[in-house]
Every structure is written in C-alpha cells, then in structure tokens.
C-alpha cells in the first residue's frame, strides 16, 4: 500500500511518524516501510482504526533523514510474531527505550477491555503520554506479585536478554513471557 507521511514528531532522540492511511492489524504487529528501495521493519504504535503510526530512534541514517512530511512510502504487512496479546487476566509489560512502541496499542487495548495491566518502562525520554508507566524496571517483589500473569519484554537484544534472565531468576515460568528484541538500536 502506498502512503504519505502526514506528520513527524520528535521527542528527544525518538521520531514518531504518522502516515495518512489506516490498516487492519492486531496490537503488537509490525509493518515494513519501503523508501527509495530501502526496507525497514517497525512495530505499529497506533491503535486499530487510527492512522498508521510507528516510532524509531533518530540514528541519522539516510533512511531516517528521508522520513519527511509528504514523503511517499510503500507499506507492507501487517506481520505477526509471538508479541501479541495472550490469554491472561494479569498482563505485565517490561520495556526499555524504543521498546515501548508495540506496548502502546497492546496496553490501550487491554485497558479498554478491563484487564489488569502494568507497564514498567525505563527510558531517557517518554515517547507516549497515554501509556501509564512505572518509570523503572520491576523488582523481584514486583515480579513475584505478578508471577501468574503474562510478561511481555521489549527493547534492545541486550535489554531483553537481561530482563528475561531477571524474570526467570524471580520464578516466572517458561511460557509465561514473550520477548521482542529490537535489533539495530545497540
């Protein structure tokens, strides 16, 4: 699908890009954005029915410098992996930095359906104001209080590995968490 960049918002080192189109997707899905023959995968930050939005780190790359208002891009997807809402009464998100991107639509969807949801988020800059966060990583006590819940881990590969080890050491059982490492940001 062809789409145009409708708006660019900068928050510190982050860029939030909104396109002029909507697509059907499940919270947690990704899309590929193709610009000048260069393809990048982004987690969808918008809610279903909203104009397609994604966020990225402004690395200064040629691709990211080309993300300008009015620029036409090709969008492919949505694509689904394991990072989608699971069946549980209690949902706990643990994200660092740009890892908050897929969390936003998942969090908002769960809140609207009345599910218990917590977001532990550590970042030098807050990207989305409509996600209520606990601005730190969870303690062992936090994890134990939610060990029957489902955990979603999102961030760089190093961060997701460290968080996974912490959860396992705190007693979270395999199959009770899923990890979404964002490569290209370390």
**Where are the chain's structural domains?**
2-79, 90-181
Q: How confident is the model at residue 50 (pLDDT cuts 50, 70, 90)?
A: very high
Q: What is the pLDDT of residues 78-126, one digit of tens each?
A: 999 888 999 998 999 999 999 999 999 999 999 999 999 999 999 989 9
With pLDDT > 90 as the criterion, what percentage of the chain qualifies?
A: 83
Structure tokens at 123: 């970042």
Which of 53, 68, 184 lies closest to 130 in space, CA to CA? Answer: 53
Model's pTM, two decimal places?
Answer: 0.94
43 phi, psi to nearest 5 deg: -75, 145
Characterize 63-99 residue by residue with b for buried, 16 or more Cβ atoms within 10 angstroms of its Cβ, and e for exposed.
Answer: eeeebeeeeebebebbeeeebbbbebeebbbbbbbbb
Is residue 182 helix, strand or coil?
coil
With pLDDT > 70 as the criterion, what percentage of the chain qualifies?
A: 98
Q: What is the pLDDT of residues 135-158, one digit of tens each?
A: 999 998 999 899 789 999 999 899
Domain 90-181, architecture per CATH: 3-Layer(aba) Sandwich (3.40)
> How far is the C-alpha of 134 from the C-alpha of 164, rounded, in Å?
18
> How far is the C-alpha of 129 from the C-alpha of 104, rounded, in Å?
10
Which of 171, 39, 16, 178 lies closest to 98 in space, CA to CA? Answer: 16
Structure tokens at 111: 């809140």
29 phi, psi to nearest 5 deg: -75, 165
Superfamily of domain 2-79: Translation factors (2.40.30.10)
- In order of 44, 66, 145, 156, the CA distances from 23 in angstroms are 10, 23, 37, 26
pLDDT at 174: 84
Q: How confident is the model at residue 186 (pLDDT cuts 50, 70, 90)?
A: very low
């Amino acid at each position: 699908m062809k789409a145009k960049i409708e708006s660019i918002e900068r928050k510190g080192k982050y860029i939030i890009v909104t396109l002029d189109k909507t697509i059907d997707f499940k919270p947690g899905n990704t899309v590929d954005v193709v610009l000048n023959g260069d393809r990048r995968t982004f987690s969808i930050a918008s809610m279903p029915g909203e104009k397609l939005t994604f966020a990225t780190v402004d690395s200064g790359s040629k691709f990211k410098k080309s993300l300008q208002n009015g620029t036409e891009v090709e969008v492919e997807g949505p694509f689904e992996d394991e990072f989608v809402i699971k069946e549980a009464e209690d949902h706990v998100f643990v994200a660092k930095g740009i890892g908050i991107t897929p969390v936003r639509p998942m969090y908002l969807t769960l809140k609207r359906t009345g599910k218990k949801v917590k977001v532990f988020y550590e970042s030098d800059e807050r990207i989305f104001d409509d996600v209520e966060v606990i601005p730190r990583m969870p303690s062992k006590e936090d994890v134990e209080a939610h060990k029957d819940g489902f955990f979603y881990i999102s961030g760089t590969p190093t961060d997701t590995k460290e968080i996974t080890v912490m959860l396992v050491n705190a007693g979270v059982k395999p199959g009770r968490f899923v990890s979404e490492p964002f490569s290209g940001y370390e």
